[in-house]
A and B are shown apart, each in its own frame.
Chain A
C-alpha cells in the first residue's frame, strides 16, 4: 500500500529565502504526483502535476521534481513571500484508479515579513 510522507511538518522562514519541501513515497509505480496548497479553512488548490514520464514541472517561482527510483519529490519555492504561507500537501496516485490520491500530512509553511 502506498504511503506518502512529508518532512518537515512545519517550517518558518524569513521573507526572500529560497526553500525546499520534501515528499517521499513507498511505491514507485505511480501515474503522477501532485503538489497542493491549502489555506486555513479552504479547499485544496493544485499547484503542479508531474506525470510519471516527467522529471520536473515549473510554474512561476515554484519548481517540483520527481525521482521515482528513489521515491522522492521536492517542491522548491524561490524568493518566498508572506503570501506563500499555507500548508503544502503532496499526493501520489493510489490504488483502484489513477484518479485516487494518497496524501502526505503536509508541511505548514510560515513566511515572516
Chain B
C-alpha cells in the first residue's frame, strides 16, 4: 500500500492564483481530511469528508473548497490564493473501525 499520497510537494503561487492540492489514499478509508500547519498555531482542520459525496467544514475553511467524488481522492482547491494561505498542508485518512490516522507527506505552499 502507498498509504496517503499528496502532490505537489512544493508550490509557489502569486496572490490571486488558484490551484488544487491532490490527495489520494489506497486503504479504503471512509474518512479523509485536510489540515494546515503553521508555526505557533499547530495543526488546524480545514475540511473533512466522512465518505464519497459528503464533505463538511472544519475550523479554518475560508478560501478553500473540497469535493469527494470517490473514496480514494480528496482534492483541496484554493480559489484565489492569499499570502495568509502560506502554510504546510497535510491530508489524512482513517477508518471508523480502528481510527488510527494516517497522514500524507505534506505540501509546502508559498503565496507571494
Contact = CB atoms under 8 A, between A and B. Distances in A.
Contacts of A49: 98-100
A101 B33 CA distance: 10
B58 A99 contact: no
Given A99-B94, A100-B45, A103-B42, A34 B100 contact: yes
Interface in B22-74: 31, 33, 35, 40-45, 48, 50, 56, 58
Mostly helix, strand, loop or mixed at chain B's interface?
Answer: strand
| Top 10 closest pairs, chain A to chain B, by CB | A99-B31, A44-B103, A43-B103, A103-B43, A105-B42, A43-B105, A49-B100, A46-B100, A103-B42, A99-B94
Interface of A: 31-32, 34, 36, 42-46, 49, 89, 91, 94, 96-106
A31 B94 CA distance: 14
B84 interface: no
B56 A97 contact: yes
Contacts, number: 68
Contacts of A94: 45
B8 to A, nearest CB: 14
Contacts of B43: 44, 89, 91, 101, 103
Nearest to B30: A99
A89 B96 CA distance: 21
A20 B97 CA distance: 29
B3 to A, nearest CB: 9
Contact of B33 (A31, A32, A45, A99): A99
Contacts of A105: 40-42
Contact of A99 (B41, B44, B48): B48
Contacts of B99: 31-32, 49, 98-99
Contacts of A102: 45
Contact of A101 (B4, B41, B101): B101
Given A44-B90, A105-B42, A106-B42, A99 B56 contact: no
Contacts of A32: 99
